[in-house]
Chains A and B, each alone.
Chain A
Amino acid sequence: MSENIKFSPWLDSSQKPYIQIQNVTKRFGEFTAIDNLTLDIYKNEFFSLLGPSGCGKTTLLRMLAGFEKITDGKILVDGEDISEIPPHLRPINMMFQSYALFPHMTVEKNIAFGLKQDNLPTNEINQRVEEMLELVELTDFANRKPNQLSGGQSQRVALARSLAKRPKLLLLDEPLGALDKRLREQTQFELMDIQEKLEVTFVIVTHDQEEAMTVSSRIGVMDSGNLVQVATPTEIYEAPINKDVADFIGDVNILKGIYKGQNEVGTQLFSEDSNSIVFATQEVGASVEDEMWFAIRPEKLEISKVAPSHDHNILKGTIEDIAYGGSFSTYHVKLDNGRILKAIRANRERTKEHHLTWDDEVYLQWAPHSAVVLLS
């Protein structure tokens, strides 16, 4: 995956974006589904649109495919304005959430369908279908009908069918939504391998934040028709732009407080939860007495029964609940003011007792660089 870290064309100003969504608005009657959205996606990216249902992510995808007309703005692919091109003439293919396999055709015919529309010679069609079947490991199922396939197999046929035409851009609408957890995780890696092998640009819509984190080069978090944040999975997780993003991606503890200025450690916040000043390294432009928040991920909150030697960034509470997750345990700690925070600790020792148990008095502490300062 070291290649993936180096792959960051969005930081290179000499790179030309492959897909340019420019000031796109989509209205359904009175309802605005997409509100003046601008986004650049680069070649070979695995880009995720992530957001709660109704945020407009599927509408955006359907506009890329051509199934929804753009109310305002335009979309360019490889420099060409595709806004007015009907779906059957776009160099873009889509994998549907329901897979949409043609029930009256065999697996082979389903995959060949798009190629036949281009009037390719028969031997080339056969060769490409063969390649695709090998790619998704379904060679033995070529003559099955869709109703004789399992969910995972259907998903792979749908993928093969949408890739058969070697599109410039592949759109995936909740591609793994119908699969069970184990299969989904396995398929995520397969998708990444295929994407790397074929060098196709993928845009995927999902509401599953774990899935987006696993597969994407970048994630666009959407809410009410707007892009809230576009960044790599790491940035989204470690440096969310606001409380909503922090809360939507993974678990988070949010401490509310009043800004008390900077000192040599960093930002000082008077926390209502600890009734004291807490610190974060990150510096922000805010004026004293502004309301702001610290976001701390549960795994970055250290939990112990022993009082720390230093005196800042400490919260005291009692263990209310323990969720044993095998490799780690999640502790719900009730603070004196009644708020519950989550702390995660890896279970590194193979003992029955993890030294912490219900109703234990514990101290929660965090390093100043672990907290994210949020202004909204």
Chain B
Amino acid sequence: MKKFGSFNIFSLIVGFSFLYIPIILLILFSFNESRLVTVWGGFSTKWYGELLQNQGIKDAAWVTIKVAFVSSTIATILGTIAGLVMTRFGNFKGRTLFSGMIYAPMVMPEVIIGLSTLLMFVALAIDRGIFTVTLAHITFSMCYVAVVVQSRMSSYDDSLTEAALDLGCTPFRTFILITLPIILPAVISGWLLSFTLSLDDLVIASFTSGPGSTTLPMKIYSMVRLGVTPEINAVSTILVGVVTLGVITASLIGRRQKQQILKTQHT
């Protein structure tokens, strides 16, 4: 293990403080007794209780969870297919263009994605609501799943598929019995990733939602305009918790999978 110099420790502290002090403050003040957000009045969980009474927040949370669940599930299916295609079919004509198009949403400004999907919904005269938010979330989170699955597939031994075919398994069953179980960790972490992405998206949801489909981030944003309350701190803390859990799980799955690959390669 390398020793940390004092300069390294210093920059580490500054960097992490910069990143996490605001979040830590938010979490701390969600347990504040006082109604004033910046004055500490003792420990209390009463704002969490208050949350449960707030129908608006509860509705928004329910919408968010529904959207996140459906969009991440569909995005996972489509993204997995995209990832498989990009690795399976080798170097077909226009491969670079296709893969570029799959990854474009990762770097495309969210405002643009939101605006363009809104324009499309308007042009097609689709009423905006939960359905449209879900669709928009599928488009932008699919590429993350595709990336995760593709990177797993690059270390997948194609002779496993061939061996299954050779032993009399049909191509579809081979996918279900061999390929999918082996890449499952990647698929799951792709799902978790798109779930959390959908959970905390504000920009795209603002463009594509309609009446009755306010998501939690949108709700928080509109509440803040009337002033920050401890209730907002509480709901944000819960959101931070859920997202952190998702990201940690996804990376743990990724790490375990990497170790397994290393292990099989060593023997």
Residues of chain A having any CB pair with chain B under 8 Å: 65-67, 86-89, 92-94, 96-98, 100, 102-104, 113-114, 117-118, 146-151, 154, 161-162, 165
What is the CA–CA distance of A149 and B170 in the complex, to the nearest angstrom? Answer: 28
> CB within 8 A of B168: which of A98, A100, A118?
A118
Interfacial chain B residues near A89, Cβ < 8 Å:
168
What is the CA–CA distance of A118 and B168 in the complex, to the nearest angstrom? Answer: 7
| 20 other A-B residue contacts (CB within 8 Å) besides A103-B260, A162-B167 | A65-B162, A65-B166, A87-B162, A87-B166, A88-B171, A88-B174, A89-B168, A93-B166, A96-B159, A96-B162, A98-B157, A100-B157, A100-B159, A100-B163, A117-B173, A118-B168, A147-B263, A148-B267, A149-B267, A151-B267
Q: Which 5 A-B pairs have the closest CB atoms?
A: A114-B167, A100-B163, A117-B168, A100-B159, A87-B165
Q: How far is the CB of A68 from chain B (nearest CB, A)?
A: 11
Q: How far is the CB of B174 from chain A (nearest CB, A)?
A: 8
A–B pairs, 7, beta carbons within 8 Å: A88-B174, A98-B157, A102-B164, A118-B168, A147-B264, A148-B267, A151-B267
Assess whether B135 is interfacial by the CB under 8 Å rule: no
Assess whether B78 is interfacial by the CB under 8 Å rule: no
Instruction: Indicate if the CB atoms of A147 and B163 lie closer than 8 Å.
Output: no
Q: How far is the CB of B170 from chain A (nearest CB, A)?
A: 6
Interfacial chain B residues near A94, Cβ < 8 Å:
162-163, 166
What is the CA–CA distance of A104 and B260 in the complex, to the nearest angstrom? Answer: 11
Q: How far is the CB of B56 from chain A (nearest CB, A)?
A: 46
Q: Report how many residues on chain B are interfacial, defined by Cβ distance under 8 Å.
A: 22
Instruction: Check A103/B267 contact, CB under 8 A, given A87-B166, A88-B166, A88-B169.
Output: no
Interfacial chain A residues near B162, Cβ < 8 Å:
65, 67, 87, 94, 96, 100
> CB within 8 A of B170: which of A88, A104, A150, A161?
A88
Assess whether B241 is interfacial by the CB under 8 Å rule: no
> CB within 8 A of B167: which of A117, A149, A150?
A117
Output the nearest chain A residue to B267 by Cβ-Cβ distance: A147
Instruction: Indicate if the CB atoms of A93 and B167 lie closer than 8 Å.
Output: yes
What is the CA–CA distance of A103 and B164 in the complex, to the nearest angstrom? Answer: 12
Instruction: Indicate if the CB atoms of B260 and A147 lie closer than 8 Å.
Output: yes
What is the CA–CA distance of A117 and B174 in the complex, to the nearest angstrom? Answer: 10
Q: How far is the CB of B76 from chain A (nearest CB, A)?
A: 20
Interfacial chain A residues near B26, Cβ < 8 Å:
none
Residues of chain B having any CB pair with chain A under 8 Å: 157, 159-160, 162-171, 173-174, 178, 181-182, 260, 263-264, 267
Instruction: Indicate if the CB atoms of B163 and A103 lie closer than 8 Å.
Output: no
Instruction: Indicate if the CB atoms of A103 and B182 lie closer than 8 Å.
Output: yes
Instruction: Indicate if the CB atoms of B164 and A113 lie closer than 8 Å.
Output: yes
Q: How far is the CB of B35 from chain A (nearest CB, A)?
A: 55
Instruction: Indicate if the CB atoms of A102 and B263 lie closer than 8 Å.
Output: no
Interfacial chain A residues near B163, Cβ < 8 Å:
94, 96, 100, 102, 161
Instruction: Indicate if the CB atoms of B267 and A104 lie closer than 8 Å.
Output: no
Output the nearest chain B residue to A114 by Cβ-Cβ distance: B167
Q: How far is the CB of B220 from chain A (nearest CB, A)?
A: 42
Interfacial chain B residues near A100, Cβ < 8 Å:
157, 159-160, 162-163
Q: How far is the CB of B182 from chain A (nearest CB, A)?
A: 6
Instruction: Indicate if the CB atoms of A104 and B182 lie closer than 8 Å.
Output: yes
What is the CA–CA distance of A162 and B169 in the complex, to the nearest angstrom? Answer: 13
Interfacial chain B residues near A162, Cβ < 8 Å:
166-167
What is the CA–CA distance of A102 and B174 in the complex, to the nearest angstrom? Answer: 11
Interfacial chain A residues near B169, Cβ < 8 Å:
88, 113-114, 117
Interfacial chain B residues near A151, Cβ < 8 Å:
267
Instruction: Indicate if the CB atoms of A98 and B167 lie closer than 8 Å.
Output: no
Q: How far is the CB of A200 from chain B (nearest CB, A)?
A: 15
Interfacial chain A residues near B157, Cβ < 8 Å:
98, 100
Output the nearest chain A residue to B261 by Cβ-Cβ distance: A103
What is the CA–CA distance of A146 and B182 in the complex, to the nearest angstrom? Answer: 13
Output the nearest chain A residue to B168 by Cβ-Cβ distance: A117
Interfacial chain B residues near A114, Cβ < 8 Å:
167-169
Q: How far is the CB of B179 from chain A (nearest CB, A)?
A: 10
Interfacial chain B residues near A66, Cβ < 8 Å:
165-166
Kindly name the residue among B166, B169, B173, B174 whose own CB sees the greatest number of chain A CB atoms within 10 A.
Answer: B166
Instruction: Indicate if the CB atoms of A88 and B159 lie closer than 8 Å.
Output: no
What is the CA–CA distance of A94 and B168 in the complex, to the nearest angstrom? Answer: 11
Instruction: Indicate if the CB atoms of B178 and A102 lie closer than 8 Å.
Output: yes
Q: How far is the CB of A96 from chain B (nearest CB, A)?
A: 5
Interfacial chain A residues near B174, Cβ < 8 Å:
88
Instruction: Indicate if the CB atoms of A102 and B267 lie closer than 8 Å.
Output: no
Output the nearest chain A residue to B170 by Cβ-Cβ distance: A88
What is the CA–CA distance of A162 and B166 in the complex, to the nearest angstrom? Answer: 9
What is the CA–CA distance of A117 and B260 in the complex, to the nearest angstrom? Answer: 27
Instruction: Check A165/B168 contact, CB under 8 A, given A94-B163, A103-B182.
Output: yes
Instruction: Check A161/B167 contact, CB under 8 A, given A103-B260, A147-B260.
Output: yes
What is the CA–CA distance of A113 and B174 in the complex, to the nearest angstrom? Answer: 11
Interfacial chain A residues near B168, Cβ < 8 Å:
88-89, 114, 117-118, 165
